[in-house]
Chain A
Amino acid sequence: MKIGLITSCLAGVAHSKMAAIALQKEAVKRGYEICIEQQGGHKIPVKLTSDQIKESDIIIIAKMVTISGKNRFENKLILDVSVNKAVRDPKSILDQAEELIAKS
């Protein structure tokens, strides 16, 4: 399974990064491929390429503030969660993602 992950937080210094690390760790443990875009405040984000978006089976959005460029993910399977939950409980989010993919 391939995952595209977008994280966003208020200042772009802590939560977006921690959520990215937590989910990445869990995803790697389960043997999934994951590519990450971190958004927020004070830096230029490294954006997911259109190929990465096209290839991913699911887009996980872990947000504290509205992400920019959401229209890139039209027609994709999207899982929208809060960034706090991603930091504290990455397991349940990936469980949810698996369930969503199985359903579709």
Chain B
Amino acid sequence: MNFWKETANVFRETGIHFRTGVSYMLPVLLIGGMVGSLAVLGGNELADGSIWKVFKDIGSIGLTYFVPIMAAYTAYSITDTPGIAPGFIVGILAQQIDTGYLGALFGGILVGYVTFMLLKVELNEMLQSTWGFMAPVLSTLIVVVFMVYILGPPIAWLMGLISLFLSSLSEHGSAAMGAVMGFLGGVDYGGPFSKTQSTFATAVMDLDLYVPLGICGSIVTVPPLGLCLATFLKPKLYTKSERKYAKSSWVYAIVGGFTEIVIPLAVGDLVRVTIATALGSTIAGFIAGFFLLELSTPVLGIAQWFFYNKPLVFVICVIVGSVITALTANFLKSISNRDIAALDAADDGIS
């Protein structure tokens, strides 16, 4: 049996499995966060049976169960439908033994892998038909025992430490964290690095920490807005198609609010633009962290304006970050010898 080959196949795509879990988790978090925030309208003291109390409860359901959903769909990514049920159960267990999202991630991967391998076992025909039902049960048992007795305690200890560390961060600590997150967010436009920081930001919501999400929210639109601003300031440094794109995309960046919008403006001159956006979002993240900007709901674009604790700080972050990005980009481009006329000609040839 090619045991090792199958194992390598599963773990080579570990990043994809994690991201699949996150992809299915986000809507749950979104519903929980949005509905929960509506309860704020009802004031501080919510009477039992009032609609605001119901909203608040719905919100906390979403904010609790996003962790098991993530585990379930991480397992689903590995072994398709048979992984969902064991993943969900292991995810809930991970929360109950205080290992939080970290435990759920490991648990999801483990239970997905074990289910996958068990389903590969070949039995005689009569047993094979019931094996499809039994394998997830068995894999759940194996992983649950492993989680509770071996993997759980150290992860719970680690989570306690992270939680303690993050919640005791002063302005300076948060500012440093903001700078690191800003750098990660500005360096690859929605690629693995950005997703690492945004996943981290949403995951610590499980610990009732909202500053990382505030940082994350404030840096998201810095690269596209900064680059659009740069093209308006010095159009000569940009090709015709880049200018045309910038004209329409700044609105899109404000309303929709995601970093990926910048990519068409970046690919033509990747190194210089990346330096500029990384610098801009590092500074935006630094400011957001310093003022302990909190965002209570993981939404993008205009919608997030309503969920900041300090909206003014958010606006300042975005403006300062974008201006710095724009100025840096234009400075770097002005000392390069990018032949705009030739690039324009090549573009015309295509379209």
Q: Using CB atoms and an 8 Å cutoff, list the residues of chain A in contact with chain B.
A: 9-15, 18, 29, 40-42, 63-66, 71, 84, 87-88
CB proximity of B8 to chain A, nearest CB, Å? 15
Query: Which of B22-30, B48-56, B285-293 forms part of the interface with chain A?
Result: B22-30
Task: Tell me if B256 is interfacial: C-beta within 8 Å of chain A.
Answer: yes
CB contacts (< 8 Å) of A66 on chain B: these are: 13, 16-17, 20, 76-77
Asked whether B19 is an interface residue with its Cβ less than 8 Å from the other chain, the reply is: yes
Q: A14-B258, A14-B261, A42-B27 are in contact. Are A88 and B190 (CB under 8 A)?
A: no
B260 contacts partner chain A, Cβ-Cβ < 8 Å = yes
The answer to whether A13 and B258 touch (CB under 8 A), given A64-B16, A65-B16, A66-B17, is yes
- Residues of B near A11 (CB, < 8 A) are 23, 26, 258
Look across to chain A and name the residue whose beta carbon is closest to the beta carbon of B266: A88
Residues of B within 8 A of A (CB-CB), count: 23
Closest 9 CB pairs of A and B: A14-B260, A66-B77, A65-B20, A66-B20, A65-B23, A10-B23, A65-B19, A14-B258, A84-B191
B252 to chain A, nearest CB (A): 10
| Cα–Cα distance between A66 and B74 once the two chains are bound (Å) | 9
Is the Cβ of A41 less than 8 Å from the Cβ of B26? yes
How many A-B residue contacts, CB cutoff 8 Å? 47
> Is there a chain A Cβ closer than 8 Å to B267's Cβ?
yes
Task: Give complex CA distance A9, B264 in Å.
Answer: 17
Interface majority SS (helix, strand, loop, mixed), chain B: helix
Cα-based distance from A64 to B16 in the complex (angstroms): 6
For residue B263, CB closer than 8 A to chain A, the reply is yes
- Residues of chain B within 8 A (CB-CB) of A14 are 190, 258, 260-261
Verify A40–B23 contact, CB threshold 8 A.
Answer: yes
Q: How far is the CB of B19 from chain A (nearest CB, A)?
A: 5
A13 touches B256 (CB 8 A): yes
Q: Does B195 contact A (CB under 8 A)?
A: yes
**Whole-angstrom distance between the Cβ of A29 and the nearest chain B Cβ:** 8
Q: Which residue of B lies closest to A14 (CB)?
A: B260
- Contact in complex: A18, B19 (CB < 8 Å): no
- Given A15-B260, A66-B77, also A10-B19 (CB < 8 A): yes
Q: Across the interface, do A64 and B19 meet the contact criterion of CB distance under 8 Å? A: yes
> A71 vs B191: C-alpha distance in the bound complex, in angstroms?
27
What residue of chain A has the Cβ atom nearest to residue B264's Cβ? Answer: A18
Write out, one digit per residue, whether chain B residues 178-220 have a CB within 8 A of any chain A CB (1) or not (0): 0000000000001100010000000000000000000000000
5 contacts between A and B (CB under 8 A): A11-B258, A15-B190, A29-B350, A65-B16, A66-B16
A9 to B261, CA, bound (A): 14
Which residues in A have their C-beta under 8 angstroms from that of B17?
66
Whole-angstrom distance between the Cβ of A83 and the nearest chain B Cβ: 10
